[in-house]
Structure formats: structure tokens, C-alpha cells
Amino acid sequence: MKIITCIKVVPEEQDIVIKADGELSFDRAKPTISAYDLNAVEAGAQLLEECGGDFIALSVGSGGIDNPKLKKNILSRGPESLVMVADDRLKDLDTHQTAKVLKAAIEKVGEYDLILCGEGSSDLYAQQVGPQLGQLLNVPTINSVSKITQSDGKIVVQRTLENEVETLESVLPALVIVTSDINLPRIATMSHVLAAGKKPATVWTLEDIGVLELFNTIEVIDTRAPQQVERKQDIVEGDTDEAIQEFITKLSTVLAK
Amino acid sequence: MRIMVLAETQKALTELCAGASQISPQVEAVIIGDQLKVVADTIWYIPAQEYAMLEDYTESIAALIKQEKPELIIVEPTKRYKLIAGRIAAMLGTTVITDVLELEKDFVAKRMVYGGTAIRTEKVVSGSTIVMVGSGVLQSKSVTEVTVREERPVQFIEPKIRLKRIAREEKERVAVDLPGAKVVVGIGRGIAEQKDLEMIKQLALALKGEIGCTRPIAEAEKWMPKETYLGVSGLIIAPEVYIAIGISGQIQHTVGINRSKLIVSINKEKSAPIFKQSDYGIVGDLYKVLPALIKHFG
């Protein structure tokens, strides 16, 4: 089976700094793999172990994603090779643009059986690239998948929705979006990291994949830390009977309203 | 201005149509089969097809949108509709703004990004605006009875690809209505054992509230259903009163509750960040405080 897992490179969340004016600073945030995509990588790695074939990781983004440490990190988790479309014109893509660039890159890669995506990106979490990409590729697309099994050119998946769990069968090629609890992503060992350095990684530009124009579907007006609501902060200290009584008295007044 | 509403559940259909009618008098709902009761003035009716999944109507809905060109399409943020809306957007060459927290004038939408660290304000600039809006976002004064002015049939378009459903199983129903509750009691890691939930239930009963929790209580401990965790990738609620019990106040949780009118917290750590975001609180052992509360309010 030929598998392609799509990966988004995101800024390390814990290193994002909120500036005094509420804007965010990414200066100290290193590029990393979007957390939900680790599950899509692991799902690909498990299918490869089970049925053999070919497993490629694919990522598109600004020139900064072409980062040796990051590439090693991705390749140490199971993919046999990595393809990146790294181009500064791909900075801050919206979901429509991302899906379009991924489609062009996948078509250049060639034939495939299964495209895997994570539930959403851990930075913007729009949960839209997978559905849009599946439609652009014109293949069966299933989201919220919590189990994948394959046999005879078909896959059977378990799909966990709000109030029901369904089992679906699909022909290949297909696109599957996995949940964050489908598996527990493996932790790469030293030997995996060393082996990753020897795996092939290809980097393309927009021209290489033949994408000549990209228009915005979304205009971002601003991104800032939410304003904190002013709270009374009337806090009783201690849990003596008197303190608890004082707390109850305060609550009684507000809860009575 | 024309607004089209797409929903999977009756509750969302009623709420989104009522909310949409505050934005424009021309609310149109897309209805598939006879499952849902209509609450819009125009309905687009797609007859139910045998053995069809909701996803099999994607082409039909997309064709309707292409033909009618509503300015705004409001969609219930269920998993099925996240897939359907994304596919429709790809067919139309546009995109979807998901999990909208606020919808302002000119369809400017606010949503949470970077795990709750920031709110992004954005708008669609390519044709129809498709937004996915959760419960409690669109304000409506009251859900009035709307008489259907016209019912228009929509031609079903056979999808190019149909998935085959082999089996389907209802999940155990979680009988809570957290977004609709006036009082919500939230629990976190400060609760020592699962059996202590009995005490929480008594308190919730005394306060006529529902119980929610932090993500670790649902996902790591599995003491509460996944559907009840509050915060990033879980529920966002805005009750009259939120009572945080044994919750430290990590941003991943507080983004789900910081729109509450009043926040009360009980935590033994004086330095817990939750106190900075609370109106009332007590620094103390919840195993002493809760029995006193239950006795007083019960």
C-alpha cells in the first residue's frame, strides 16, 4: 500500500509569547510537528508495518520548514521518505490554499492508495484541510476515524461521531482523517533518529509543483490574546468552619439572584 | 440578505434559525427527509434517499448553494458537517470558518487559535461565507413559531462516490446539556478518587446544575464522558454561574469557561491561577467545603 501522511509544521505552542499589547510573538517558537498529525504519522507507520509498501510524509509551508532537525524528527517516526514544498510564498496559508498546494504536491508524487491527515492543526485547528483536500483529489474522504484496517485494496474504518460509532468500507485510493485517540504515537529511539538522517528528503518550490497562483479565501483581521474579564477575586482563605460559613454567605447572595 | 442554515440536530436547527433571523429576515433551511421540524420561513427540501448517509447529500447541497448564492451559510459544527462543509467549500473554491465564537457585522468571525492563547478575527473574502457556529453563539430573543412561507424541492444529485456503511452503533447517550445549563459545576485533578463524584453529583443537584470537567478527568482518568470536558477542543460554555472545583486554571480549560457570568472556585492551592479569574473563591480542602455547601444548598 502506498501511503502519504500530510503534516503541518507549527510554532512550538509553549514558546509563543503574549506581548504587552496582546499580540503574539513567535520569535522564540521553534518549528515542530502539529500534535494531531503525529497520530496520522503513527497510523501510517502501523499500516506500513502490517502490509508493507511505501510511506511518504508530505508537508507544505514557508521556507523555514526546510529545517534539518525537523526533517529528522518527521523521518524518525516511521515515514520512509519526506517531501516538502517549502517556499516563502506559502507563509500563513488558509485552509483552501493549503489543500490546493497539497493536491498539487500529491499529484507530482504520483500514485497513492491512502492519504492520512490529522484531525486539525494544533495551531489554528480549523479541521478543514483534510475534507477540502479529499474533495480536490476526488477520492472517498472520511473524517473522525478511530480505527483503520485494510484488505484486498479496500479499507474498513471505524468512525466515532458525537452519538454513534459507524463502520465504513471504502475503496482505495481514499483520504482518511484520524482522531487524536486512534493510537499512541511512538517515541523515536536513538537508532530511529540516526536512520532518519539517511532517508531521502526532497524539497520543492511552487514552480516545481506547477502552482502559479494562490488567492486568499480568508482575510485575517487580527490575532491577539483574549481580553481578561475583570473578576472580583473575593477569595476567602482557609477552611475553618467560620471561613466556610463566610464563603457560603457570599455564595448565597449571588446564587439567590 | 439571504442566510441558509444546515443542521443535523433539531436543537441546533431551531437555535441557528432563530439566531439567523436576528441577522436577516430571510432565513432558509435545508432539510433532508422528514427528520427535522422546520423553523425557517423558506425550506429547501431534499427527499430522503434509501440507504443514504448525510454525506451523500453533499453534491445536492453544493449545487443548491451554487444556484441560490446565499450570502451566509450557517452550519452546525458536528463532525459529519465539518466534512460536508469542507467538501462543499472545495467545490465552490472557498473555505469554512469553523467553531466561531462570535459572529459580528459583515460576517466578521472570531475563533480560538493557538490552543486558546489567542482569538483570531477573520472574514471570508471569496464568495459565500460558510461558518460553523456552536450552541449559544447566536443570540435570539426568543424562539418564535415561524410559519413556513414556501417549501421548495431540491433535486437529489447522485454522488460520484458513496461510502458503504457496514455497521452503526449508538453510543451510550450522555444526558447532559452543558451549553444550556445555568449553573455548571466543573471538576479537575483536585478530586482524589472517582467515588468522590457522588459528592459532586449531590452538589450539582442542590444547585440545579450540570457537571463538566477538565480534559484530564475525561481523557486520562475517564471518570467523565468525553462529551463533558470544557476548554480547547471540548465545550465552550457561558453559564450564569461556573463553580470550579479542584481546577488549577490552565488556559486550555479556562478558555472554555471564561465567558461565564460568575466564576466561583474551590482549591486548596492559594497560588492556583483560577483564583485570579474568579469572582468568589475559597482556599481550602474541598472535602471540607463541599459537604458544607451541600448541607446549606441542599
Q: What is the pLDDT along chain A (257 residues), one digit of tens a residue?
A: 999 999 999 999 889 999 999 999 999 999 999 999 999 999 999 999 999 999 999 999 999 999 999 999 999 999 999 999 999 999 999 999 999 999 999 999 999 999 999 999 999 999 999 999 999 999 999 999 999 999 888 999 999 998 899 999 999 999 999 999 899 999 999 999 999 999 999 999 999 999 988 889 999 999 999 887 899 999 999 999 999 999 999 999 888 75
Domain shared by B146 and B9, yes or no: yes
Query: Domain for residue A244, yes or no?
Result: no
**Nearest alpha carbon to residue B112 among A120, A10, A131, A223:** A223
Q: What CATH number should be reported for the domain holding residue B253?
A: 3.40.50.1220
The SS3 of residue A174 is strand
**Nearest alpha carbon to residue B143 among B264, B10, B287:** B10
pLDDT (tens digit per residue) in B213-245? 999 999 889 999 988 999 987 888 889 999 999
Q: DSSP character for B235?
A: B
Residue A39 CB: number of other CB atoms within 10 A? 22
Q: What CATH number should be reported for the domain holding residue A94?
A: 3.40.50.620
**What is the spatial distance between Cα A68 and Cα A75, in angstroms, rounded to a whole number?**
11
Distances (CA, A) of B51 to A114, A139, B161, B163, B166: 25, 20, 14, 10, 11
Which residues does chain B have within 8 Å of residue A243's beta carbon, measured at their own beta carbons? 282, 284
Chain A residue with CA closest to B260: the answer is A229
**Nearest alpha carbon to residue B255 among B137, B114, B135:** B114
Contact A96 B280 (CB under 8 A): no
- The minimum CA-CA distance between B41 and chain A, rounded to whole Å, is 29
Q: Say what the pLDDT of residue A142 is.
A: 98
**What is the spatial distance between Cα B106 and Cα B112, in angstroms, rounded to a whole number?**
19
Q: Say what the pLDDT of residue A257 is.
A: 59
What residues are paired with A4 via a beta bridge?
A: A56, A115
Contact A233 B275 (CB under 8 A): yes
Query: Domain for residue A222, yes or no?
Result: no
Whole-complex ipTM: 0.93
Residue partners of B273: CB distance under 8 A and separation at least 6: B248, B249, B250, B254
Cell numbers describing residue B290: 463541599
Query: Domain for residue B259, yes or no?
Result: yes
Domain shared by B70 and B109, yes or no: yes
**What is the spatial distance between Cα A121 and Cα A124, in angstroms, rounded to a whole number?**
6
What is the number of domains present in chain A?
1
Query: Domain for residue B174, yes or no?
Result: no
Domain shared by B38 and B137, yes or no: yes
- The minimum CA-CA distance between A103 and chain B, rounded to whole Å, is 12
Pairing of strands A154-160, A141-151: antiparallel
**What is the spatial distance between Cα B23 and Cα B26, in angstroms, rounded to a whole number?**
9
Residue A76 CB: number of other CB atoms within 10 A? 21
Domain shared by B137 and B8, yes or no: yes
Contact A220 B122 (CB under 8 A): yes
| Residue owning grid cell 474568579 | B278
**What is the spatial distance between Cα B220 and Cα B147, in angstroms, rounded to a whole number?**
48
Chain-wide mean pLDDT for chain A? 95
**Containing domain of residue B256, as a range?**
183-297
Cis bond upstream, residue A185 (ω within 30): no
Domain shared by B14 and B58, yes or no: yes
pLDDT (tens digit per residue) in B168-191? 999 877 667 888 899 999 999 999
**Nearest alpha carbon to residue A58 among A13, A1, A110:** A110
Query: Domain for residue B83, yes or no?
Result: yes
Q: Where are the alpha helices (DSSP H) in B139-281?
A: 197-206, 215-219, 251-254
Domain shared by B38 and B142, yes or no: yes
**Nearest alpha carbon to residue A153 among A137, A140, A134, A166:** A140
Cell numbers describing residue A189: 529511539
**Nearest alpha carbon to residue A109 among A72, A87, A82:** A82
Interface residue of A125, A179, A227 to substitute, partner B, most B CBs within 10 Å: A125
- The minimum CA-CA distance between A113 and chain B, rounded to whole Å, is 16
Residue partners of B105: CB distance under 8 A and separation at least 6: none
**Containing domain of residue A92, as a range?**
2-209
Query: Domain for residue B256, yes or no?
Result: yes
User: Could you tell me if A87 and A62 are in contact, meaning their C-beta atoms sit under 8 angstroms apart?
Assistant: yes
Cell numbers describing residue B241: 454561574
Q: What CATH number should be reported for the domain holding residue B9?
A: 3.40.50.620
Q: Say what the pLDDT of residue B145 is.
A: 59
Query: Domain for residue A217, yes or no?
Result: no
Contact A168 B288 (CB under 8 A): no
Domain shared by B137 and B21, yes or no: yes
Looking at chain B, the number of H-run helices and the number of E-run strands are 7, 16
The C-alpha torsion from B112 through B226 and B14 to B154, rounded to 10°, is: 90
The structure's pTM equals: 0.89
Domain shared by B132 and B6, yes or no: yes
Q: Say what the pLDDT of residue B142 is.
A: 59
Contact A161 B91 (CB under 8 A): no
Among B131, B153, B175, identify where a domain stops. Answer: B153
**What is the spatial distance between Cα B212 and Cα B227, in angstroms, rounded to a whole number?**
9
Domain shared by B16 and B138, yes or no: yes
Domain shared by B13 and B143, yes or no: yes
Query: Within a 13 Å sphere around the CA of B36, how many CA atoms are in the beta-carbon half?
Result: 25
Angle (nearest 5°) at CA B265 between B263 and B266: 165
Domain shared by B129 and B8, yes or no: yes
Query: Domain for residue B176, yes or no?
Result: no
Which residues does chain A have within 8 Å of residue B90's beta carbon, measured at their own beta carbons? 96, 99, 131-133, 135-136
Residue partners of B73: CB distance under 8 A and separation at least 6: B3, B4, B5, B6, B65, B128, B129, B130, B131
Mean pLDDT of B12-26: 89
Looking at chain A, the number of H-run helices and the number of E-run strands are 7, 15
Contact B97 A126 (CB under 8 A): yes
Query: Domain for residue A238, yes or no?
Result: no
What is the number of domains present in chain B?
2
